[in-house]
Amino acid sequence: MSGHNKWSSIKYKKGAADAKRGKIFTKIIKEITVAARGGGGDIDTNPRLRVAISAAKQANMPAANIERAIKKGTGELEGVNYEEYIYEGYGQNGVAIIVETLTDNKQRTVSEVRHAFSKYGGNMGESGTVSWMFNKAGVILIPNEGQEEDEMMMAALEAGADDMEIEEDNFVIYTPFTELHAVMSNLEGAGYKIENAELTMIPKNRIKADDVAEKLLRLLDMLEDLDDVQKVYANYEISDEVFERLSAE
């Protein structure tokens, strides 16, 4: 998992019960709506929708909210028409940043993203500026509940995964971008409980950023907090000691 995923999980644990939950719900509802609009409301035939609903359940979103978002996507209920846009740029130390958005107003979104880059010393670039520095992949988290690492690795590979590692109390399983849904189904069929699953961008290499960590993370936080932003990816590397100090502040 990338460093920013780790930082986001720290923030989520600290703020899960506060106002940020509403913002998290809004982002997930947008994703469910767009997924249902593009592939229909059946999770068995719409992998993107299944992943979005998995995220909703992970965030403890009420079932009624999920159902309403699906119906807005399929046209059964009136809803906003969101479009997807991706923005790219650089942060401190030349850290590459990708920003995924869903918006009903592109002009507003690009203005807010550009402002965030500018405020914290970053630079917004053209399409394709940094995307080549990342690989698209699926990521699945399975709680480590006493399974042997070799046994879990074998099960993951048999299910169609590319690789696996251990992070804290979870097995982190990497899948081909287009095979996330199939690997999830295979692992569930084998009796494994999936904690979370998502499509992501994994850096091909990382840039050390301990010396600019605070300012860089403020930039990434500001981008993530924008209403139209769904996900932010960055190819930095920050030591555990610096993460612990910043997360304690």
Residues 161 and 113 placed together within one structural domain of the fold: no
Of 74, 94, 116, the position where a domain reaches its end is: 74
Residue 237 belongs to a domain with what CATH number? Answer: 3.30.70.980
Tens-level pLDDT at each residue, the chain (249 residues): 334 444 343 343 334 444 566 788 999 999 999 999 999 999 888 989 998 998 898 889 999 999 999 999 999 999 889 999 999 999 999 999 999 999 999 999 999 999 999 999 999 999 999 999 999 999 999 999 888 899 999 999 999 999 999 987 889 999 999 999 899 999 999 999 888 888 899 999 999 999 999 999 999 999 999 999 999 999 999 888 887 888 776
- Domain containing 231 equals 83-132+205-248
Residues 110 and 233 placed together within one structural domain of the fold: yes
Residues 214 and 230 placed together within one structural domain of the fold: yes
pLDDT at 242: 86
Of 29, 44, 74, the position where a domain reaches its end is: 74
Tally Cβ neighbours within 10 Å of residue 87.
23
Please report where in the chains the tokens 């930095």 appear, as a residue: 236
Residues 196 and 137 placed together within one structural domain of the fold: yes
pTM as predicted:
0.85
Residue 133's alpha-carbon distances to 43, 99, 128, 203, in angstroms, are 31, 14, 10, 6
Residues 19 and 112 placed together within one structural domain of the fold: no
Residues 114 and 174 placed together within one structural domain of the fold: no
Residues 128 and 216 placed together within one structural domain of the fold: yes
Nearest-5° angle of CA 113, CA 108, CA 78?
Answer: 120
First to last CA, the chain: 23
Residues 127 and 223 placed together within one structural domain of the fold: yes
Q: Which long-range contacts (CB under 8 A, 24 or more apart) does 23-29 make?
A: 23/225, 23/227, 24/59, 25/59, 25/61, 25/65, 26/227, 27/229, 27/230, 28/52, 28/55, 28/56, 28/59, 28/61, 28/69, 29/56, 29/61, 29/65, 29/69
Of 49, 74, 99, the position where a domain reaches its end is: 74
Residues 197 and 141 placed together within one structural domain of the fold: yes
Residues 188 and 151 placed together within one structural domain of the fold: yes
pLDDT at 22: 76
For residue 233, what are the contacts with CB-CB under 8 A and spacing of at least 6?
A: 2, 4, 97, 98, 100, 134, 200, 201, 203
Number of structural domains in the chain: 3
* Token code pair at residue 48: 């993107």
* Token code pair at residue 40: 């229909």
* Token code pair at residue 216: 């860089």
Residues 192 and 137 placed together within one structural domain of the fold: yes
